[in-house]
Chain A
Amino acid sequence: MARMTMIEAIRSAIDVSMERDDSVVVFGEDVGYFGGVFRCTQGLQQKYGKTRCFDAPINESGIVGTAIGMAAYGLKPCIEIQFADYMYPAYDQLTQEAARLRYRSNGEFTCGMVVRMPTGGGIFGGQTHSQSPEALFTHVCGLQVVVPSNPYDAKGLLISSIENPDPVIFLEPKRLYNGPFDGHHDRPVTSWAGHPLGEVPSEHYSVPLGKAVVRREGSAVTILAYGTMVHVAEATAEETGIDAEIIDLRTLMPLDLETIVESVRKTGRCMVVHEATLTSGFGAELAALVQEHCFYHLEAPVVRIAGWDTPYPHAQEWDYFPGPVRVGQALRDMMEA
């Protein structure tokens, strides 16, 4: 066991994967010599050489498009889009090509690759360094979507993603890169040093895709969360004293419906929280599924707490981000319902 930040855990996952399998290649903007603007690929070019880890032109559809060609050849590209906010030029390649190669060629060509993207807000990133576009990927059949919330999962899920035979969108909450964040922006920044999930094995291990985990057992209400909002939910449960069961989804597609249904049937209440905007967000899918599968166990309507339906603002960061105050109030209201 070693102590790692999420950045170090991600780097370790790539390192371990490159070591084990020489078909794993890593590229993206500034990921080579410089080691990435978030240091996630630091030292990899030095260790594995320029043809395994290299810098790419500033061209997202080119990065994803060439990676698809490489995957069709048989390599396993683990590529980076510098910010999830900048994936849009590659959206055609991701949704019409990567997602469909296996289906449309009846398995002749496949696309085992990972597209890493720093995601989420809470960092004064403004409109184009804060977005959470996961719903734009979960709506696309053929893609898998992963959002880790801590270093241990980040490494294990990334290794699983690299070894997965289909394309994985790997969204890394950049607010969690250096430490857990519960939304209390007025308190001192914490690091992963004191957190149990900052303990990460140095060697190869994996966390399976498609499996959620219960972060906090409770009986009053089920909170469905992923990424940064897992920590917000945990803080809210402590602060309100409401005995919430908190599920960290970890993988949005495929979704671990079983764990969700089991919990909601037990608690009778369900709240979904995510940073992404509300309307047509992934929370709508979760709410619909819970309603469909737990209707007779529900004692209150499913509640969604999400980012407002506006572009992500700069100055109003904390009015926008669904922090513990907003989630806590909604939780109290819900318990009275």
Chain B
Amino acid sequence: MTDDMKFGLPGKLSLHVPEPEVRPGGKPDFSNVTIPKAGSVRRPEVDVDPETIRDLAFSIIRVLNREGEAVGPWAGTLTNEELMEGLRHMMLLRTFDSRMLMAQRQGKTSFYMQHLGEEAVSCAFRKALQPGDMNFPTYRQAGLLIAGGYPMVEMMNQIYSNDADPLKGRQLPIMYSAKDYGFFTISGNLATQYVQAVGWAMASAIKNDTKIAAGWIGDGSTAESDFHSALVFASTYRAPVILNVVNNQWAISTFQGVARGGSGTFAARGLGYGLPSLRVDGNDYLAVHAVAKWAAERARRNIGPTLIEYVTYRVGAHSTSDDPSAYRPKEESEAWPLGDPVIRLKNHLIRVGAWSEERHKQMEAEIRDTVVAAQKEAERHGTLHSGGRPSMRDMFEGVYAEMPPHLKRQRQQAGV
């Protein structure tokens, strides 16, 4: 029994407020995170009765072991070539992040959010989808765009709100929208997209289409009511949707225990709704892909939705407006037992003889050049405070399909 579970005498109540194990100045401690051995979790058939795999919501599906070998029943969904491409995607995202973080510090944009440590989740997931499928992402799944081949320059144009911004300067940086790349318009309001993903999937089923949807949410946002709404609707209508929970342990300064209490895992939330619920090593590119593929197949075969919890760690600050040293130990990410997704995939590829330190260094340099070139091109269109910017006229467009009279009057008043 831990300290906070000691019970007092009857008659006097006290409120329980969860606290993380460690605060700044303390020694990082993940001893409470149980990590099963790679390859140890079974792989059920996709049409399994969810009742019979409840244990999978409390375990962690892992493929890569300490030696960098791919082991167990979830291994083998990707070729070495595909894995090298995956490695490249993760490195692109990481480099993109670091350049955009710097651009924000240089005042070229107002805001940025990194994916550091979470690259495998969105990059590997994207490769399990097919053209036409639709993601309903949060602000921390830009790997879906990068792995989906969306032009990086367009992402930067959006971040800079310049005159080539596909969203005409109307949206806060990183709130991308890319319909043709299966990437739904990002909203600042948390969890709203989770239930919209279910609706999109229901629409695909109503039309007897073959496309599936994926909803995305973070650990903190699972506490929002739309998380519950999404699970109810997905379960009721057996919508062809994959419901992803990215558990990176932190919701800004709030540790995941505040969203979850002491009640099992985030995957376990799905069980009460009758959903098959898997928990996966979010820093294991191979495991993420294998689980995503399993869930996609379930959805595509009209068997129903799947809930997946990706266990990972938010290595970077929440955003450029956040300083994590105020609420967690600086060295915590280094103590994270699931390691770094890029290094783990790199080591695997070296282990199987498909990769080398030299080639990795080469690729790092090549990626840096690619991102810098994209940045230069984007900056030719301007940054937030200098160069080209969207027109003031654009501000009035697109509120409605047809501009109503009062907006026309206001546009006129604005002198455009």
Q: Which residues does A use to contact B, with CB under 8 Å?
A: 23, 25, 51-52, 56-57, 59, 61-62, 65-70, 72-75, 89, 92-93, 96-97, 100-110, 141-142, 144, 164-166, 210, 253-255, 257-258
Contacts and interface: CB of A to CB of B under 8 A. Distances in A.
15 contacts: A25-B203, A52-B206, A62-B232, A65-B195, A66-B195, A73-B199, A73-B204, A73-B207, A103-B170, A104-B187, A106-B398, A108-B179, A253-B404, A254-B400, A254-B406
A62 B398 contact: no
B347 interface: no
Contacts of A109: 177, 179, 184-185
A164 to B, nearest CB: 8
B229 A97 contact: no
Contacts of A165: 401
A146 B189 CA distance: 26
A3 B177 CA distance: 48
Given A106-B398, A254-B406, A66 B225 contact: no
Nearest to B168: A106
B170, B192, B213, most chain A CB atoms within 10 A: B192
Contact of B233 (A25, A59, A106): A59
B265 interface: no
A72 B197 CA distance: 10
A108 B400 contact: no
Interface residues of B, number: 47
Contacts of A141: 399
A92 B197 contact: no
Contacts of B230: 62, 65
Interface of B: 134, 136, 166-168, 170-171, 175, 177-179, 184-185, 187-189, 192, 194-207, 213, 225-226, 228-230, 232-233, 236, 398-401, 404-406
A101 B185 CA distance: 7
A254 B406 CA distance: 8
Given A102-B399, A109-B185, A110-B401, A69 B198 contact: yes
A70 to B, nearest CB: 4
Given A104-B175, A106-B170, A72 B401 contact: no
The 9 closest A-B pairs by CB, nearest first: A69-B199, A66-B199, A65-B195, A62-B229, A254-B404, A73-B203, A105-B185, A69-B196, A69-B200
A164 B404 CA distance: 13
A57 B399 CA distance: 31
B401 A104 contact: no
B144 to A, nearest CB: 15
Give the residue among A23, A65, A92, A109 with the most B Cβ atoms within 10 A: A65
Contacts of B228: 59
B408 to A, nearest CB: 10
A106 B196 contact: no
